[in-house]
Chains A and B, each alone.
Chain A
Amino acid sequence: MVDTPDTLLEGDRLSRRFGGVVALQDYSVKLSKGDLLGLIGPNGAGKTTAFNLLSGVLPPSAGSISLDGRNLTGSQPEAFAEAGIARSFQNIRLFKDLSAWENVAAGYHMRHGAGWLSTILALPGARASERRMREKACALMETVGLADFIDQRAGDMPYGHQRKLEIARALATEPRVLLLDEPAAGMNATETEELKKMIAVIHEDLGLTLVLVEHDMRFVMSLCRRVQVLNRGELIADGTPEEVQATPAVAEAYLGKGRGKKVA
């Protein structure tokens, strides 16, 4: 397969088995800079597995992953983050005992943290980098609408805000691709609407490439120009929301055989 020059993230025929269970089979994805892809599918379709492979949390059983032509297959998640792939988690994984700004500042550590010796000696470089990280963390929290929670212990924040904080922390790694695993899960209608705005800001103003895993079909259909549908570990549709909705296999996966024709 020849890479087109503007391909940013590429997963090529990715498979993942857990013992005898095939969680994902021959899943391929290609993203160009600025894409916003929605990944949907019924429970157990392999969406989170796909995310875990694309973010390096799990190594694939077969297939390869590259970012900007650089092969990352089999690397540690640290290397994926360093290359520019950031993610949020379906079951929120914040640093609960740290304050909200510390969560975000931890995200900046990879690219802006000072070394141990200059930190101990409080050299001017280390102090400047610490100040810069605090400023950036605060500014980022303002961007995502969490300015009032800077000093709050992350674990004590309202659920919807925890999700936003997780996204802010991921943004602090200054990624090129952001993977959001069910960002709207458990949110009420107002929070979902806010989140939608926030994602649009991230996508348009920051120019980030995004992949969303979502259960909420309406959410995905209204945000994404491109949608992939997984079912039982296999990709069954890939196209615009309209095309995907018109695919019989999709309706079948969601509703069963011989039933309605429209999803959402």
Chain B
Amino acid sequence: MTGGTGMMDRLRHNPAALGIGLLLIGAALIAGAEAWLTPFERTVIGFAGINIILAVSLSFSNGLTGLFSLGHPAFMMLGGYTAAILTFPAMRKSTMLPGLPEFIATSELSLLPATLAGGVVAAVAALIAGFPVLRLRGHYLAVATLGLIVIVQVLINNMDSITRGAIGLAGLPRLSNLWWIYGWVAVTLFVTWQLKHASLGRALMSIRENELASASIGVRRARLKLFAFVLGAFFAGVAGALWAHLVTNLTPNSFGIVTAFMIVVMVVLGGSGSLIGAALAAIALSVISEAARPIERAIDAYGLVQIVTATLLIAVLLFRPQGLFGSGEPVTRRMTTPGKPPSKTSHEHRGGFPNETS
């Protein structure tokens, strides 16, 4: 049938239509999931969505720019606590969180503004931390960002008049559902995709590819690194907020080094810098870890998932260090010839170069 390929081509060259189509399919799936699946199954799908946000945003800031940050859990914590405090029932705030300023203590926000606030707080924290931390490279940066996790944990533990310290916040309203979570998944993918496939994305990747050359063509490294770090932190904050309102409780140990490890594995599996790769790896690891839970219980071997994941990571690093898709995307392996409207001319070049030689 010619209609099929014709439609595929039209979609390929009309990203807006493709996007709307994907959104509709996604919405139909979520509606189906909300209607027919058990609460447990929906929760698992929710976790997968949160993991997608985390992995995609980390693949953006780490993979494109070449920053090796392990700080995502710190930003999740900040976003999660911020949102949780904002949505906490005002009646209970005065007794449980006496240290809050008046305007927060008396208000009770809905999920969307709370989530946004969580993302913004995480982003601001990344902006402040980024100035000194992003001067470091490679494993120095990794260690320094691990320090961020510790700092945030200590702060939350000790600011108990607004966080309840080590006890944590329990009985949060269960506001996250698949609509909210996957709405944010869509936003995360859209924003990172747009940036990656534009001049800014090339500038970011140039830093990863060769920092000195990147500087010598005028790419403002410090600024762009900070931008990528802050954007990643924003989405980590959002993910933390969604997590808190899915699990309905939050302690200073909800996210830690194990979380950082799991997200990094997703990014490495998917291909550092690949957004779709990170999303697919996030789904796969979420499903595996849920599926393994009954097995862990049956054979009384808790922590099996972590061991399997770590083994998987080592195998990938040994045999396919570029991960699933390298830093590219499965759907745009080949660029259409730039400079020409992609409607007609792109066909000629797909799969080969033009014939004439110079």
Contacts and interface: CB of A to CB of B under 8 A. Distances in A.
Nearest to A116: B200
A189 to B, nearest CB: 18
Chain A CB within 10 Å, residue with most, of B202, B216, B353, B357: B216
A106 B202 contact: yes
Nearest to B338: A134
Contact of A81 (B191, B215, B334): B215
Contacts of A135: 338-339
Contacts of B215: 57, 76-78, 81
A204 interface: no
Given A119-B194, A129-B199, A151-B353, A98 B218 contact: no
A106 B200 contact: no
Nearest to A147: B358
A137 to B, nearest CB: 6
Interface in B155-174: none
B216 A109 contact: no
B334 A151 contact: yes
B338 A95 contact: no
Contacts, number: 144
B202 A77 contact: no
Chain B CB within 10 Å, residue with most, of A105, A109, A147, A173: A109
Nearest to A166: B213
A114 B202 CA distance: 12
B354 interface: yes
Contact of A172 (B194, B212, B217, B358): B217
Given A97-B326, A102-B202, A114-B200, A78 B219 contact: yes
A81 B216 contact: yes
Contacts of B250: none
Interface residues of B, number: 38
B349 to A, nearest CB: 7
- CB-based closest 10 A-B pairs: A110-B218, A134-B338, A81-B218, A138-B339, A95-B209, A93-B213, A113-B199, A77-B215, A135-B339, A109-B203
Interface of A: 55-57, 76-78, 80-82, 86-87, 89, 93-99, 101-102, 105-114, 116, 119-122, 126, 129-131, 133-139, 145, 147-152, 169-170, 172-173
A51 B20 CA distance: 51
B335 interface: yes
A120 B338 contact: no
A129 B199 CA distance: 9
26 contacts: A56-B216, A76-B215, A77-B216, A82-B218, A86-B216, A97-B205, A97-B209, A98-B206, A101-B335, A102-B202, A106-B219, A107-B217, A109-B199, A109-B219, A110-B217, A110-B219, A114-B200, A116-B227, A119-B194, A119-B200, A134-B339, A137-B338, A139-B339, A148-B353, A150-B349, A170-B216
A105 B219 contact: no
Given A76-B215, A93-B213, A96-B209, A119 B335 contact: no
B200 to A, nearest CB: 5
Contacts of A97: 205, 209, 326-327
B358 A98 contact: no
Nearest to B210: A93
Contacts of A145: 358
Interface in B181-235: 190-191, 194-195, 198-200, 202-203, 205-206, 209-210, 212-221, 227
Interface in B326-358: 326-327, 334-335, 337-340, 349, 353-354, 356-358
Contacts of A99: 335
A102 B327 CA distance: 14
